[in-house]
Structure 1
Amino acid sequence: MRVDLLFEKTANRDALFEFAKRAILSLENVAPESKFWNMQNMGDPQIGIAGPKSIYKNYTTVDKNNFSIKETKEGFKISGYLSFSDKQQRAISK
């Protein structure tokens, strides 16, 4: 899901971009050092996708390499992309 943040123009645009990036990144609920990020764990019989103790549920992740910043007449539009483990989480985030 794409998340767009709209801001009025400001003289300190670098600070604005950093603030917006931190705001989007703060939506992620998976620690950077988590086993979640090791894709070999996806097929693990215990913690994998189909495992009884799956670590691949109730998550929100952010595509850290895909932020866009566009200047408009009114201000700035900063976008990022989120992924969710279920539709209910996505609906709450809209």
Structure 2
Amino acid sequence: MSEEEQGFVIRDKRGRSEPEASSPPLSNASTAQAGFSSESSHAPHPPLSFSSFVFSLGTSSLMLMGESLDPQQGAPPMNLPQAKEIVDILSLLEE
């Protein structure tokens, strides 16, 4: 086999414990600028319950129907067939 037919070499770098030199690690200032802080990432989440699951489904269906939760962001795109599926799931759960 000649060198032209040999192709290319794949080097898998997954699983390495050391970060790549081309991407510098993020500093605390850059994560704070992005709106994330280490304190908020470790904040306790509310306990999961059936009512929070149902509330989440209801909120998702409202957003899929074009309801905006934040007036500054504008209306999300509508997806009525998917909203109908969620409403059908909620009515099944009600039975």
Q: Same fold (TM over 0.5)?
A: no
Q: Counting helix residues as a fraction of each chain, which structure ranks higher?
A: 2
TM-score by length of structure 2 reads 0.24
Which has the bigger relative contact order, CA under 8 A and spacing at least 6?
1
TM-score by length of structure 1 reads 0.24
Q: Counting strand residues as a fraction of each chain, which structure ranks higher?
A: 1
